[in-house]
Structure 1
Amino acid sequence: MATIALYGFGRIGRQFLRIALQHDLFTPVAVADIRDESTLAALFAVDTNYGRWPEPVTGRAGALQIGHRSLPYINSMQAVPDWGALGVDLVVDCTGRATTRAGAQVHLDRGARYVLISAPSKTLADCDAVLLKGINLDTFDPASHHLISMGSCTTNALAAVVKVIRERFGIQYGLFSTVHSYTNTQSLTDQPMKDRRDSWAAAENIIPSSSGAARALQFIWNDLKITGKAYRVPTRTGSIAELNLITEKDCTVQDVNDAFRRAATEGPLRGVLDVLDGEWASSRIVADPHSSIVDLPLTAKEGNLLSVATWYDNEWGFANRLAEVAAFLADRI
Structure 2
Amino acid sequence: MGNIAIHGFGRIGRTATRAALLKNMFVPFSISDIKDSKALASLFAYDTNYGKYPGHVTAQSDRFIIDNNEIAYLNSKDALPDWGALGVDVVIDCTARATTRSGAQAHLDRGAKKVLVSAPSKSMEDCDAILLPGINLEDYNPSQHHIISMGSCTTNALAPVVKIIGEKLGIKSGFFSTVHAYTNSQSLTDQPMNAMRDSWAAAENIIPSSSGAAKALKFIWPELNITGKAYRVPVRTGSIVEVNVQVEKSTSREEVNEMFRTAASSDQLRGILSVLEDEFSSARIVGEHHSSIIDLPLTQVLDGNLLSVAAWYDNEMGYATRLVEAALYFSRQ
Match of 1:180 in 2: 180
Match of 1:317 in 2: 318
Structure 1 stretches of 4+ with a deviation exceeding 6 A read none
Match of 2:267 in 1: 267
Q: Which amino acid aligns with 1:292?
A: S
The answer to whether residue 152 in structure 2 is matched with residue 152 in structure 1 is yes
Distance (Å, rounded) in 1 between the aligned partners of 2:19 and 2:267: 23
Match of 2:211 in 1: 211
Q: How high is the sequence identity, in percent, across the aligned residues? A: 61
Partner deviation per Cα, 1:208-234 (whole Å, 9 max, x = no partner): 001010000001001101100000000
Q: Which amino acid aligns with 1:131?
A: L
Partner secondary structure for residue 240 of structure 1: strand
Distance (Å, rounded) in 2 between the aligned partners of 1:98 and 1:191: 27
Distance (Å, rounded) in 1 between the aligned partners of 2:55 and 2:277: 36
Distance (Å, rounded) in 2 between the aligned partners of 1:227 and 1:103: 27
Q: How does 1:1-333 map to 2 (within 5 A)?
A: 1-303=1-303, 304-332=305-333
Q: Shift in Å at residue 56 of structure 1? A: 2.1
Distance (Å, rounded) in 2 between the aligned partners of 1:20 and 1:134: 18
Partner deviation per Cα, 1:99-130 (whole Å, 9 max, x = no partner): 11111111001110100111011111111110
Partner deviation per Cα, 1:284-330 (whole Å, 9 max, x = no partner): 00111100000011111112211111000000111111111111111
Q: Shift in Å at residue 28 of structure 1? A: 1.4
Q: Shift in Å at residue 85 of structure 1? A: 1.1
Q: Shift in Å at residue 97 of structure 1? A: 2.2
Distance (Å, rounded) in 1 between the aligned partners of 2:255 and 2:267: 18
TM-score by length of 1: 0.98
Q: Shift in Å at residue 188 of structure 1? A: 0.7
Partner secondary structure for residue 245 of structure 1: strand
Distance (Å, rounded) in 2 between the aligned partners of 1:209 and 1:169: 30
Distance (Å, rounded) in 2 between the aligned partners of 1:108 and 1:254: 49
Q: Shift in Å at residue 137 of structure 1? A: 0.5
CA RMSD after TM alignment: 0.8
Partner deviation per Cα, 1:161-209 (whole Å, 9 max, x = no partner): 0010000000011100000000011111111111111111000000000
Q: Which amino acid aligns with 2:180?
A: H
Partner deviation per Cα, 1:39-73 (whole Å, 9 max, x = no partner): 00000100011111122211211111112111111
Q: Which amino acid aligns with 1:307?
A: S
Partner secondary structure for residue 89 of structure 1: strand
Distance (Å, rounded) in 1 between the aligned partners of 2:21 and 2:144: 29
Q: Shift in Å at residue 267 of structure 1? A: 3.2
Q: Shift in Å at residue 254 of structure 1? A: 1.0
Distance (Å, rounded) in 2 between the aligned partners of 1:327 and 1:173: 35
Q: Which amino acid aligns with 1:318?
A: Y
| Matched positions, count | 332
Partner deviation per Cα, 1:251-275 (whole Å, 9 max, x = no partner): 1111111100000011311110001
| Greater mean alpha carbon deviation, residues 299-308 or residues 10-19 | 299-308
Q: Shift in Å at residue 83 of structure 1? A: 0.7
Partner secondary structure for residue 274 of structure 1: strand
